[in-house]
């Protein structure tokens, strides 16, 4: 149940990575080097301090998602990779959209557009307002197109995060070794 | 035991069984060199003349022995000089560990003297790399680095060690527990389904062919490969790095495939109904035009690296696994078979190739590169370890020096690194001191790393250097002749007098200009302990045939004309 259309060449991958310096650089370098086409890449911490999680949307017209996943798996610091878009999943993109609201018409128009979306106005003044939306990527894009005629002056998106539905759990048993320095017996080393 | 970081480095090298390292000192690595002094009776340090040489020597050592080669350099320029060697090892899956000094931790990021972001620079050309930020991690990192370098698909690993960590002391206990890396699990064997699918294809093929690569030797699957070929009656073709995977005098060995491979191999691949690709990666030099590559065959691909499966060539059965394990799983189900018609067809193609072979047709008087290589094969009994550089002499070696044993032909295949041959030969000799080692190099590539002549003398390395001198960058010249209307831009070379040059280093040398000196030249080389250089002055405009032009269909080779045929005819 891909959220993208049947003919879309986009795939969403999830990577569990060791929370170490330079891992994002390794992933970015891999995509550049292999000429993989990245739509978006997000990274954040998980409920385990030593594990970070990346959501990567790739255009797989040129290279299959499986090749991308196999290459990601080759990186030593990547613990697991899953092509989440091959299975039922939930994906969300967050956008903050600053629009012109310097007259009554534009203010009314923004309110009216936002009512049709799971969007809300989180800041409003006499010149501009900020609209926030958290939704599937295509819905976010639709909102942006509806706001465009009113006058978008600034826009930021987080990129897609995704999670498989149901009991399909993406997790790892990995615990970093506790390395006790022999010197003083106190210092602990995470990964 | 209180040790400095520098001493820990060497303690760890000793634990990994390292007896020789190749390197060059400098400011940021000096503490480690001081530790080498302390441990000088346990680890031998070879002083190179350029860090690139150190990385190629470590690579040559690794390729010859199958063990991890170690090179060492200082920060900044020392480390960046290793990069070509790391990229070479990466492309050919050669296990090396490079240790580089880094500026002290406090200075990192300040553009300090001889500071370079070495982990950043080497990230794409290493299997993995480390910047050590804590002395307590050092031993774990070194242990991991060796494990990563030699396991799975081998490759180079770099460890960058700040100078202050080399100086710092800690109470050291060697980490005895095995390496545990959560994200690193090289595949083992095939699934039962994979095995059945492969057997179905193997047992029913009419025109099967095996494509054997470097992976055969790296997984130690020579015996299994031979059993498969012999039992199922399947002819074997070799990649450039696969030379030695199957004895080349075996009746089922056809020869090398690819751009300058035997035409018979390329025709067979195009005609086959089953390709069994073992430990090879369908490099573009092997496949030619992918759209027309082996159009009528089903394909089985076994490689340790899952990302190689379906990368260039789509296959029916793709097995990510260790080749020896996978072949051992498959072999019990392989039915005894023979394909006399198919093998006969390949023999006909080989016979056609023999008719075109320059060695059977040459009427000129100048010494040919092909003759030199073939005579080196003859007079060394085909038993030497040959280490080539890159270019025409490399392809001639592949064509005219058949190897019987694995890991006796070392060459930079993937990256095509000119300058590799000579230092890699020094490394190979350190790894295999009882073998006869020949560096076979061209005049162009040799001049890129010939400063290592001094290293060879200082260490009294008993190797023979064959310089095939045609006063051209021969392979580039060949492309210019074929594809650039003979505009020989920047390929003619004004060379030094290689004999005098060698003598200036204190190396016995000999110049050979005709074929009747060949036996004498090999005897000359063998009679001297230590490095010997022989310059073979060869025909300037020799062409390596056959040739699949870059991107052309594999069967559309430029062939050497048969006697009486028009020059440049395409078969």
| CATH code, domain carrying A27 | 3.30.70.260
Do A22 and A72 sit in the same domain of this protein? yes
Give how many domains chain A has, as a whole number: 2
Cross-chain CB nearest to A189 (options B119, B120, B134): B134
| In this structure, CATH architecture of domain B2-171 | 3-Layer(aba) Sandwich (3.40)
**ipTM of predicted complex:** 0.91
What does the pLDDT look like over A36-77, one tens digit per residue? Answer: 999 999 999 999 999 999 999 999 887 899 999 999 999 999
Q: Report chain A residues whose CB lies below 8 A from the CB of B307.
A: 67, 70-71, 73-74
Task: Show the domain range for A141.
Answer: 90-161
Structural domain includes residue A73: yes
d(CA A182, nearest CA chain B) in Å: 6
Reduce the secondary structure of B100-129 to three states and give it as a string. Answer: EEECCHHHCCCCCCCCCCHHHHHHHHCCEE
Last residue of a domain, one of A65, A88, A111: A88
Q: Tens-digit pLDDT profile for chain B (571 aa)?
A: 899 999 999 999 999 999 999 999 999 999 999 999 999 999 999 999 999 999 999 999 999 999 999 999 999 999 999 999 999 999 999 999 999 999 999 999 999 999 999 999 999 999 999 999 999 999 999 999 999 999 999 999 999 999 999 999 999 999 999 999 999 999 989 999 999 999 999 999 999 999 999 999 999 999 999 999 999 999 999 999 999 999 999 999 999 999 999 999 999 999 999 999 999 999 999 999 999 999 999 999 999 999 999 999 999 999 999 999 999 999 999 999 999 999 999 999 999 999 999 999 999 999 999 999 999 999 999 999 999 999 999 999 999 999 999 999 999 999 999 999 999 999 999 999 999 999 999 999 999 999 999 999 999 999 999 999 999 999 999 999 999 999 999 999 999 999 999 999 999 999 999 999 999 999 999 999 999 999 999 999 999 999 999 999 999 999 999 888 776 545 4
Q: Report chain A residues whose CB lies below 8 A from the CB of B119.
A: 22
Residue A103's CATH number: 3.30.70.1150
Chosen for mutation from A60, A170, A183, A191 (greatest number of chain B CBs closer than 10 Å) is: A183
CB B237 within 8 A of CB B265: yes
Do B2-171 and B192-349 fold alike per CATH?
yes
Do A141 and A79 sit in the same domain of this protein? no
Which residues of B does the annotation mark as catalytic?
Answer: 51, 113-114, 163, 475
d(CA A189, nearest CA chain B) in Å: 8
Interface of A with B in 7-36 (CB under 8 A): 17-18, 22, 25-26, 29, 33
Do A59 and A94 sit in the same domain of this protein? no
Do A62 and A34 sit in the same domain of this protein? yes
Cross-chain CB nearest to A77 (options B170, B183, B309): B183
* DSSP string across B247-302: -TTSTTEEEE-STTS-HHHHHHHHH-SEEEEES----HHHHSSGGGSSTT-EEEEE
Do A151 and A105 sit in the same domain of this protein? yes
Last residue of a domain, one of A39, A58, A88: A88
Structure tokens at B179: 């390496």
Do A78 and A15 sit in the same domain of this protein? yes
Residue A175 has pLDDT above 90, yes or no: no
Q: What is the mean pLDDT of chain A?
A: 89
Do A80 and A99 sit in the same domain of this protein? no
Q: Report chain A residues whose CB lies below 8 A from the CB of B301.
A: none
Structural domain includes residue A189: no
Do A130 and A144 sit in the same domain of this protein? yes
Nearest Cα residue to A125 out of A147, A110, A114, A146: A110
Structural domain includes residue A188: no
Structural domain includes residue A110: yes
d(CA A102, nearest CA chain B) in Å: 47
d(CA B108, nearest CA chain A) in Å: 15
Do A124 and A153 sit in the same domain of this protein? yes
d(CA B154, CA B68): 9
Please give the pLDDT value at position A4: 45
- The domain ranges of chain B are 2-171, 192-349, 367-537
Give CATH superfamily name and number for B192-349: TPP-binding domain (3.40.50.1220)
Q: Report DSSP state, residue B414.
A: S
d(CA B515, CA B378): 13
Pick the CATH number of B367-537 from 3.40.605.10, 3.40.50.970, 1.10.1040.10, 3.40.190.150: 3.40.50.970
Do A76 and A103 sit in the same domain of this protein? no
Contact B183 A79 (CB under 8 A): yes
Last residue of a domain, one of A32, A53, A88: A88
Structural domain includes residue A172: no
Residues of B with a Cβ under 8 Å from any A Cβ are 119-120, 123-124, 127-128, 131, 134, 136-137, 140, 148, 170-173, 180-184, 305-307, 309-311
Please give the pLDDT value at position B571: 46
CB B118 within 8 A of CB B158: yes
Q: What are the strands of the beta sheet with B44-47, ordered from one edge?
A: B44-47, B20-23, B69-73, B96-102, B157-162, B128-131
CB B538 within 8 A of CB B470: yes
Structural domain includes residue A3: no
Q: Report chain B residues whose CB lies below 8 A from the CB of A66.
A: 310
Q: Helix B340-356 to helix B263-271 angle, to the nearest 10 degrees?
A: 150
Do A60 and A49 sit in the same domain of this protein? yes
CB B42 within 8 A of CB B67: no
d(CA A49, CA B319): 35
Structural domain includes residue A97: yes
A67 and B CB contact within 8 Å: yes
Structural domain includes residue A30: yes
């Amino acid at each position: 149940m891909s959220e993208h259309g049947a003919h879309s060449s986009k795939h969403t991958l999830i990577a569990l990575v060791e929370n170490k310096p330079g891992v994002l650089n390794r992933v970015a370098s891999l995509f550049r080097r292999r000429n993989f086409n990245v739509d978006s890449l997000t990274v954040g911490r998980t409920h385990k301090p030593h594990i970070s999680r990346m959501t990567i949307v790739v255009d797989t017209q040129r290279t299959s998602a499986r090749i991308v996943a196999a290459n990601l798996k080759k990186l030593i610091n990547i613990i697991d990779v899953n092509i989440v878009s091959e299975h039922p999943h939930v994906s969300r993109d967050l956008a903050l959209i600053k629009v012109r609201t310097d007259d009554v018409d534009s203010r009314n128009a923004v309110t009216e557009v936002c009512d049709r979306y799971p969007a809300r106005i989180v800041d409003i003044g006499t010149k501009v307002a900020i609209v926030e939306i958290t939704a599937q990527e295509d819905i976010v894009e639709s909102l942006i197109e509806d706001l465009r005629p009113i006058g978008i002056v600034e826009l930021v998106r987080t990129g897609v995060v995704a999670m498989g539905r149901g009991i399909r759990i993406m997790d790892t048993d990995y615990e970093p070794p506790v390395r006790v320095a022999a010197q003083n017996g106190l210092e602990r080393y995470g990964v | 035991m209180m040790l400095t970081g520098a001493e820990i480095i060497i303690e760890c090298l000793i634990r990994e069984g390292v007896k020789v390292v190749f390197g060059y000192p400098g400011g940021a690595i000096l503490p480690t060199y001081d530790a080498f002094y302390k441990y000088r009776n346990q680890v031998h340090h070879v002083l190179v003349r350029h860090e690139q040489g150190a990385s190629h020597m470590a690579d040559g050592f690794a390729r010859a022995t199958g063990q991890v080669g170690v090179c060492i350099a200082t920060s900044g320029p020392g480390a960046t000089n290793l990069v070509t060697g790391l990229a070479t090892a990466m492309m050919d899956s050669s296990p090396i560990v490079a240790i580089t000094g880094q500026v002290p931790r406090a200075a990192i990021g300040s553009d300090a003297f001889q500071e370079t972001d070495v982990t950043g620079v080497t990230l794409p050309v290493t299997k993995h790399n480390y910047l050590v930020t804590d002395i307590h991690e050092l031993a774990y990192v070194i242990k991991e680095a060796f494990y990563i370098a030699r396991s799975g698909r081998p490759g180079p690993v770099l460890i960058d060690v700040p100078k202050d960590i080399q100086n710092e002391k800690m109470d050291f206990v060697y980490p005895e527990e095995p390496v545990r890396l959560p994200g690193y699990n090289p595949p083992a064997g095939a699934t039962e389904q994979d095995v059945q699918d492969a057997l179905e294809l193997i047992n029913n093929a009419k025109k099967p062919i095996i494509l054997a690569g470097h992976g055969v030797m790296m997984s130690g699957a020579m015996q299994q490969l031979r059993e498969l070929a012999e039992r199922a009656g399947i002819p074997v073709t070799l990649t450039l790095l696969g030379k030695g995977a199957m004895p080349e005098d075996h009746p089922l060995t056809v020869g090398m495939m690819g751009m300058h491979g035997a035409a018979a191999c390329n025709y067979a691949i195009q005609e086959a109904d089953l390709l069994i690709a073992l430990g090879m990666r369908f490099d573009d030099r092997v496949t030619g035009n992918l759209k027309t590559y082996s159009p009528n065959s089903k394909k089985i691909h076994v490689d340790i690296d899952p990302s190689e499966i379906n990368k260039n060539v789509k296959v029916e059965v793709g097995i990510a696994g260790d080749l020896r394990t996978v072949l051992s799983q498959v072999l019990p189900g392989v039915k005894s078979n023979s394909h006399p018609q198919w093998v006969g067809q390949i023999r006909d193609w080989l016979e056609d190739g023999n008719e075109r072979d320059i060695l059977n047709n040459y009427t000129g008087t100048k010494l040919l590169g092909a003759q030199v290589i073939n005579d080196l094969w003859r007079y060394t009994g085909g038993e030497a370890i040959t280490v080539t550089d890159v270019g025409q002499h490399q392809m001639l070696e592949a064509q005219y020096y058949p190897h019987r044993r694995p890991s006796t032909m070392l060459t930079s295949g993937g990256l095509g690194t000119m300058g590799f041959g000579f230092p890699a030969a020094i490394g190979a000799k350190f790894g295999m001191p009882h073998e006869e080692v020949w560096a076979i190099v061209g005049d162009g590539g040799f001049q890129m790393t010939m400063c290592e002549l001094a290293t060879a003398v200082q260490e009294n390395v008993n190797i023979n250097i064959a310089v095939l001198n045609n006063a051209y960058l021969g392979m580039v010249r060949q492309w210019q002749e074929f594809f650039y209307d003979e505009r020989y831009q920047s390929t003619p070379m004004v060379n030094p007098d290689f004999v005098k040059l060698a003598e200036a280093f204190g190396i016995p040398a000999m110049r050979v200009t005709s074929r009747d000196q060949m036996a004498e030249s090999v005897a000359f080389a063998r009679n001297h302990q230590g490095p010997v250089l022989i310059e073979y002055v060869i025909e300037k405009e020799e062409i390596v045939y056959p040739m699949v032009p870059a991107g052309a269909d594999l069967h559309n080779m430029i062939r050497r004309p048969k006697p009486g045929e028009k020059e440049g005819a395409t078969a």
